[in-house]
Chains A and B, each alone.
Chain A
């Protein structure tokens, strides 16, 4: 099976702009989680979607949002970008059943100038 794919892999934006990142889960997986990784804070959970519904949410401001489509693909959006939003954004998928092992994609590296 193909792994989790994320697009784009690299992105440069300026403060105040917004950005949309995309994630395609492993075929058959219905749960998609998003994480932010920065040198200072490490890997932090953003939110999780299952069957197009947000099932869990981390402690991030409302500028961070996401959605999931009927084919389980997911997008996350960050509005009004700040310098501190520069990070590696990781997507992970899992079947959504009892076996909750998450499989991560390669990430999208976002640089905010």
Chain B
């Protein structure tokens, strides 16, 4: 079973920030938080990952709470092309026996 819970769907106005929450209350100390997204019928696209510090790259920012039980993916200026299913996954580093477990994700609709 997936170790994360996410809202089923969210809407965001084009140009506004999209804030996608993820709950991972049972996360272990060596588990990273990964975010992927999947645009319709394409392969999942890696977005960002982090352990405990906030992370930012050219696509998004990842904010992880101090207790690491939840996180938020932020798309600073959402565009129509950001409409996709977003997956939050927790996975241990160096655990070669553990695969990525994808839950149902959050379906983000960016509205014009």
Interface residues of A (CB under 8 A from B): 4, 33, 35, 42-45, 48, 50, 55-56, 58, 88, 90, 92, 96, 98-107, 109
Contact = CB atoms under 8 A, between A and B. Distances in A.
Contacts of A109: 41
A60 to B, nearest CB: 12
Interface residues of B, number: 23
Q: Which 4 A-B pairs have the closest CB atoms?
A: A104-B43, A43-B102, A45-B99, A104-B44
B97 A56 contact: yes
A99 B94 CA distance: 8
B101 interface: yes
Contacts, number: 56
Contact of A107 (B43, B95, B96, B102): B43
B107 interface: no
Given A56-B96, A56-B97, A88-B41, A101 B102 contact: no
B52 interface: no
| Most chain B CB within a 10 A radius of its CB, from A33, A42, A109 | A42
A29 to B, nearest CB: 13
B43 A56 contact: no
A14 to B, nearest CB: 23
A92 B99 CA distance: 11
Interface string B43-64: 1111001000000000000000
A100 B93 contact: yes
Nearest to A102: B100
A55 B91 contact: no
Contacts of A102: 46, 100
A43 B96 contact: no
A33 to B, nearest CB: 6
Contact of A4 (B43, B49, B96, B97): B43
B42 A107 contact: yes
Given A98-B93, A100-B91, A33 B45 contact: no
A42 B43 contact: no
B44 A43 contact: yes
A45 B101 CA distance: 7
